[in-house]
Structure 1
Amino acid sequence: MANPNELADLASSTQINEVDIAIVGGAMAGATLALGLAELAKQQASIGADAPIKIALIEAHKPSNEHPGFDARSIAISHGSIFELKQLGLWQHLDPLATPISNIHVSDRGHFGMTELNSESLHLPYLGQVVELEAVGNKLFSLLEKSDIALYCPSRLHSVEARIDSQLLTLEDGQQISAKLVVAADGVNSKVRQAFKQPLEQVEFGQSAIIANIHTEQPHAGWAYERFTQTGPLALLPMADNKGDSRLSLVWALPPEEAERLLTAPKSEFIDKLQQAFGYRAGRFVDVGNRFSYPLTLSYMPRPIYHRTVFLGNAAQTLHPIAGQGFNLGLRDVVCLIEVLKQVLANPEGQAGKDVGSSELTHLFLERRKTDRQGTMNSIEFLVRGFSNDYWPLVVGRNLGLRLLSWFPPLKAPVARRAMGWNQGE
């Protein structure tokens, strides 16, 4: 990292790039927002706006399996999120990389509760889709490089200086960007949040997650699984077949000491333990790829806005992966911000008459995201606490709930809609 004196010398001889919106962090949320805003700028230009919005994106890493946001993980994109990505003009580029989820099986290990959700019974082509982050990262960055976005990558943020009518961002190489609005999409350890000394609340679950790709003897046929065990939830997502090889993406919540042990255990031991915990609904597990682990916490900013600054995605909230809602919630942040920007820019005077970093915009975003954001975080915490607990009234209650969904199919519709990212509320 350059020292402050070197940066001062560089800055004094560097022209400041003035933009309307500077996005810090170019993983899923940041890249999606940048491309959505680039499309908005095109729409402005097409209707003759005097000054379409100018966007800059700052990202420290090129996409690779070393990228913290575009690594070896897979994520589930809900039906509702796919609708939003289509509206942004992005899904057509990601669709070839995706594997449909046709069925979801939910069970409680050692108890009688289980239920299924099926796309066919809901008259849908799929319940969601699974994508591998590294492949998605490469595709999104190829689109960014072809756009009119000022892309600073690889480049790291050094500091942010709050000004009355802008924010001044200085990069580690001395380049400077002046922005009317800064969007922090730089993850749970957001440098923007730290620079402004904004609080972050954290809830520890006492669990660590092991993630890996599992190879199975039989085809997955589009099934996804959520299995609740005594140590925590275990999820398997269908992945694209690789040379005829059926693969599932694993997220397995365990006590930290057990996760650490299994992370380096021989493959045969790991597979045996996983098979014992999960059962044989997906057939026999025959191999496992590289294993990774990270601690599970709920981290969130009580107030994800600041002067001329909006926080979204993992910078605003990082969820337990129990229901696969992390990116889906972050995408709703992205969509909301774009809608708010459209509203602020839609005035007779054009963009020159409106300030995209105004308190009007940041507070409108905060208000519109409050219900969905808080409701989703509460639901995730309830699931984690409720299904990682052997207190017998909770065990009976949750298993009766799962059984009722199986016995009375009409009850599945609202559950399925929420799982697919609909009815979230703003």
Structure 2
Amino acid sequence: MTTAQTNTTPLTVDIAIVGGAMAGATLALGLAKLSASQSRPLRIALIEAHVANNNHPGFDARSIAIAQGSIFELTRLGIWPKLQHLGTAIENIHVSDRGHFGMTELNAKPLGLDALGQVVELAQVGKVLFDELTKSPVSLFCPAKVTDIQAQQDGHLVSLDDGTQLHCQLLVAADGAHSVVRQQLQQTTEIIDFDQTAIVANVITNQAHQHWAYERFTQTGPIALLPMTSVPSAPSAQSRFSLVWAVPPAKADELKHADKTEFLAALQQAFGHRVGRFIDVGQRASYPLTLSYMPRPIFHRCVFVGNAAQTLHPIAGQGFNLGLRDVIGLLDVIENALTQANVNAKTEVDVGSSAIVHQYLAARQGDRDTTLRNIEFLVRGFSNQYWPLVAGRNIGLRLLSWFPPLKRPVAHTAMGWR
């Protein structure tokens, strides 16, 4: 890590990343690895408002599922080997429609894989990523907040709350759903409100999870359970799951404040007994479920990645995986530009040029648009009780069970394979 000091004159960097949670930290480490092979290494700055601990909004008590395609990319960047000890494998996924006949399974072994993905706890991941950043050549400004951004012809002048100013050729917004960069540059988002609220908590069951994850669709919205590492002192027969439960906003407030017995009884009634009996629940949090996106996640010498570019409904667990593909797309575009410069014997590359920014947009548009459409289709299709839709989706789930070859493209999409 390069120690970041307060400057009276702007610090010149090639790329300034605002936001050091999963997307921003991964991008910074990926750029550092890419830069190491260059004759003139890239000057990279990462600006993060919070220290990586349990109070960090991007590295809080939640868990996420990292799809196998994302594991491949993180391994290529040299990041996953640092994180793999934190992962709990998802070997099988059970999908069902409560009260109807539709259900299916996705399994790793028929695909020749050990796992379909890995579940990690964000608080633990954050500490590892920040430890890696401190060992890297990235200039880390943390804790520091962006107070002003001035767009200039050759870059952006970014002012921080400690008086530091940075001038960058390329500004990357990785600062989440409430992006300060997006607000400063007066960029708008489109928002689709699903009229659902997610209840998020860790729950314990009296049966071993055996590396199964579950997606159960109900009349109020989906219930997702992701397998987690067990508490060391817990009996071996018990399991921890990360729960995301979508319900109407009024019901969410009731569930969030219900006593433990009432909450577990309501969850048991909604989910059933496929994972055994729910015997405990940790601290509960909630947040509204929307799909928001920037139609064009670029601006003058600026690109938006991860939740700064789009936020997804948690159905199918694609939020981080789509954001990581943003990061990989940007890394690929920059690497191609650096490679081309080497071929042409150029010593300098303007990484914020209009060509690079628009190449990023073109690289991401197809995958991004398809994922956004698919997520909206799943949410609306599985939350609707109109009988033709109910029949259609249940027949579709059954067809996947009856004709296993149909599962392969579904599994590839779920795993984020491009």
Normalised-by-shorter TM-score class: over 0.9
Residue 27 (str. 1) matches residue 16 (str. 2): no
Whether contact under 8 Å (1:212, 1:289) holds in the other structure is yes
Whether contact under 8 Å (1:52, 1:351) holds in the other structure is no
- For residues 31 and 365 of structure 1, the distance between their equivalents in structure 2, rounded to whole angstroms, comes to 19
1:147 aligns with one of 132, 136, 148: 136
Deviations 1:358-402 (A, max 9, x none): 000000000110000000000000000000000000000000000
1:130 aligns with one of 95, 119, 123: 119
- For residues 29 and 344 of structure 2, the distance between their equivalents in structure 1, rounded to whole angstroms, comes to 25
In structure 1, the residue matched to 2:394 is: 399
AA aligned to 1:290 is Q
* 1:112 shift after superposition: 0.3
Residue 219 (str. 1) matches residue 208 (str. 2): yes
Deviations 1:224-264 (A, max 9, x none): 00000000000000001111452000000000000011001
* 1:121 shift after superposition: 2.0
AA aligned to 1:397 is G
User: Structure 2-normalised TM-score?
Assistant: 0.96
AA aligned to 1:250 is L
Alignment of 1:203-242 (within 5 A): 203-242=192-231
Residue 261 (str. 1) matches residue 254 (str. 2): yes
- For residues 143 and 422 of structure 1, the distance between their equivalents in structure 2, rounded to whole angstroms, comes to 26
In structure 2, the residue matched to 1:177 is: 166
In structure 2, the residue matched to 1:312 is: 305
Greater Cα shift, 75-84 or 117-126:
117-126
Deviations 1:277-335 (A, max 9, x none): 00011111100000000000001001100010000000000000001000000000000
* 1:351 shift after superposition: 6.0
- For residues 64 and 322 of structure 1, the distance between their equivalents in structure 2, rounded to whole angstroms, comes to 27
User: Structure 1-normalised TM-score?
Assistant: 0.94
AA aligned to 1:95 is Q
AA aligned to 2:176 is G
Secondary structure (helix, strand or coil) at the match of 2:362 reads helix
In structure 1, the residue matched to 2:51 is: 62
What 5-or-longer segments of structure 1 have no aligned partner?
A: 1-9
- For residues 163 and 130 of structure 1, the distance between their equivalents in structure 2, rounded to whole angstroms, comes to 42
Residue 354 (str. 1) matches residue 341 (str. 2): no
* 1:192 shift after superposition: 0.8
- For residues 89 and 160 of structure 2, the distance between their equivalents in structure 1, rounded to whole angstroms, comes to 40
1:43 aligns with one of 37, 44, 68: 37
In structure 1, the residue matched to 2:289 is: 296
AA aligned to 1:98 is G
418 and 301 in structure 1: CA distance in 2 versus 1, 3 angstrom threshold: same
- For residues 350 and 118 of structure 1, the distance between their equivalents in structure 2, rounded to whole angstroms, comes to 49
Deviations 1:3-62 (A, max 9, x none): xxxxxxx99x71211100000000000000000001011121xxxx1x210100000001
AA aligned to 2:82 is H
- For residues 167 and 265 of structure 2, the distance between their equivalents in structure 1, rounded to whole angstroms, comes to 55
* 1:352 shift after superposition: 3.6
Secondary structure (helix, strand or coil) at the match of 2:254 reads helix
Residue 282 (str. 1) matches residue 271 (str. 2): no
AA aligned to 2:98 is R
* 1:350 shift after superposition: 5.4
Greater Cα shift, 58-67 or 75-84:
58-67
What is the aligned residue count?
408
In structure 2, the residue matched to 1:89 is: 78
In structure 2, the residue matched to 1:5 is: none
* 1:64 shift after superposition: 1.6
- For residues 82 and 346 of structure 2, the distance between their equivalents in structure 1, rounded to whole angstroms, comes to 30
AA aligned to 1:341 is I
- For residues 8 and 337 of structure 2, the distance between their equivalents in structure 1, rounded to whole angstroms, comes to 32
Shift >6 Å, 4+ stretches: none
Whether contact under 8 Å (1:14, 1:174) holds in the other structure is yes
- For residues 387 and 54 of structure 2, the distance between their equivalents in structure 1, rounded to whole angstroms, comes to 43
AA aligned to 2:170 is L
In structure 2, the residue matched to 1:157 is: 146
Residue 115 (str. 1) matches residue 108 (str. 2): no
What 5-or-longer segments of structure 2 have no aligned partner?
A: none
Residue 189 (str. 1) matches residue 178 (str. 2): yes
TM-align CA RMSD = 1.2
Percentage identity across paired residues of the two chains: 62
* 1:345 shift after superposition: 1.3
